[in-house]
């Protein structure tokens, strides 16, 4: 008994009769067109069609903060996520505080807040209402350098200089806190300030000599 082979493909069409099965080319073209319409619909139906109320609601929350920076009272409205470091550099133009790791690990952004050392990159600006902030720009008295600034020059306690503002601000805080009893104590309490050039010995000496002059 003979059998006829069974075909898995679509049935043949008569000459001149269009095929009902989609080809690979038409399938890809159709899929691309539908995807484009979906994306365009999402864009057009999103922010472009949103009313002013929705647009305002999408804006990040902002806060108003008044603080004293280097003896000058300042009031500013900023995004609630703004760090003190970005406030100083981007809003006030005080670029002496450096942005190093931006994660509180290098100490290049160290400033004094109400006399205490703070990593400016980890401090939210809106949390400082009424605070008094001192940066490297506020240490000198006119043309007269702060004693620790002068000591850094005298001891040649820097090389590239990138970490120097943070080192000096941390040193000033360390002296105020009374952690200068020995070179070992100074190194311990300034261990959060990294000098990639390796000037630690001279930095410690500058802090130690400034503390003794007090």
The reported pLDDT for the residue numbered 214 is 75
Which two tokens mark 121? 């990159």
Beta strand segments in 5-162, E: 62-69, 72-79, 110-113, 116-119, 132-134
| Rounded distance between C-alpha atoms, residue 18 and residue 175, angstroms | 90
Check: CB of residue 117 under 8 Å from CB of residue 191. no
> Model's pTM, two decimal places?
0.73
**How far is it, in rounded angstroms, from Cα 134 to Cα 131?**
10
At residue 78, what are phi and psi to the nearest 5 degrees? -135, 160
Please provide residue 76's backbone torsions phi and psi, each rounded to the nearest 5 degrees: -150, 150
Q: How far does the chain reach from its first CA to its final CA, in angstroms?
A: 116
pLDDT, averaged in runs of 10, over the chain (214 residues)? 50 53 60 53 50 64 96 97 98 97 97 98 97 98 96 97 98 97 97 97 98 89
Task: Report the pLDDT value the prediction gives residue 59, as an integer from 0 to 100.
Answer: 76
**Which pLDDT does position 203 carry in this prediction?**
98
């Amino acid at each position: 008994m003979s059998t006829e082979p069974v075909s898995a493909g679509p049935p043949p069409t008569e000459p001149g009769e269009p095929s009902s099965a989609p080809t690979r080319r038409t399938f890809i073209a159709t899929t691309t067109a539908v995807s484009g319409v979906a994306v365009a619909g999402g864009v057009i139906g999103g922010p472009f069609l949103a009313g002013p109320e929705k647009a305002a609601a999408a804006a990040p929350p902002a806060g108003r903060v008044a603080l004293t920076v280097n003896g000058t009272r300042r009031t500013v409205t900023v995004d609630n996520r703004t760090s003190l470091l970005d406030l100083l550099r981007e809003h006030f133009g005080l670029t002496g505080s450096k942005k190093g790791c931006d994660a509180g690990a290098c100490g290049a952004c160290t400033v004094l807040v109400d006399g205490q050392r703070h990593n400016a990159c980890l401090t939210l600006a809106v949390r400082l209402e009424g605070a008094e902030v001192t940066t490297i720009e506020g240490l000198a008295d006119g043309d007269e350098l702060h004693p620790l600034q002068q000591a850094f020059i005298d001891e040649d306690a820097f090389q590239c200089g990138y970490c120097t503002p943070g080192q000096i601000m941390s040193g000033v805080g360390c002296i105020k806190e009374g952690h200068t009893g020995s070179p070992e104590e100074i190194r311990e309490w300034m261990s959060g300030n990294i000098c990639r050039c390796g000037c630690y010995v001279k930095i410690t000496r500058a802090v130690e000599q400034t503390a003794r002059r007090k």
